[in-house]
Structure 1
């Protein structure tokens, strides 16, 4: 099962039929953000940060802009260490 297929299975399980399916670019965006948070802040920051991204997007934030802002925030933490 690919991650895109997994995302679709999760979307069905959560009864999110009224939302757009996730494509590879969506999965890559989340994984890139998770990587930046895990490597620049702490490993547990990865799921927390991606969860908060999901809340922001659910409230209308642009996924690309929000993920980019959070990646910059995480990478800035690494630079400050």
Structure 2
């Protein structure tokens, strides 16, 4: 088990979730797309927004796809 897996399991346990509730790869992929194509601090903010949307009933895979698409189509060079 990796440190990330251990952390995810511990965080899920603390929040009353199960690791199966979390698509870690999708969250990391979205964070990468935002960090590389928009701005680095946008990655954790976007992950939070993703969680809010999913918590309000949105489909996790659809949210991830929409946010990655938005980030990949973002104009500019990703620098502030």
| TM-score greater than 0.5 by the shorter chain | yes
Task: Name the SS for the 1:13 alignment partner.
Answer: helix
Find the aligned partners of 2:5 and 2:58 in 1 and give their Cα distance.
22
Q: Deviating runs (4+, > 2 A) in structure 1?
A: none
Segments of 5+ residues of structure 2 without an aligned counterpart are none
- Are 2:61 and 1:60 aligned? no
Q: Map 1:29-68 onto structure 2 (within 5 A).
A: 29-68=26-65
| Structure of higher RCO (CA pairs closer than 8 Å, 6+ residues apart) | 2
Segments of 5+ residues of structure 1 without an aligned counterpart are none
CA RMSD of aligned residues (A): 1.6
- Are 2:8 and 1:12 aligned? no
Deviations 1:16-40 (A, max 9, x none): 2xx4x224x7110100000000001
Q: How many residues align?
A: 74
Find the aligned partners of 2:19 and 2:14 in 1 and give their Cα distance.
14
Provide the TM-score with structure 1 as the length reference.
0.82
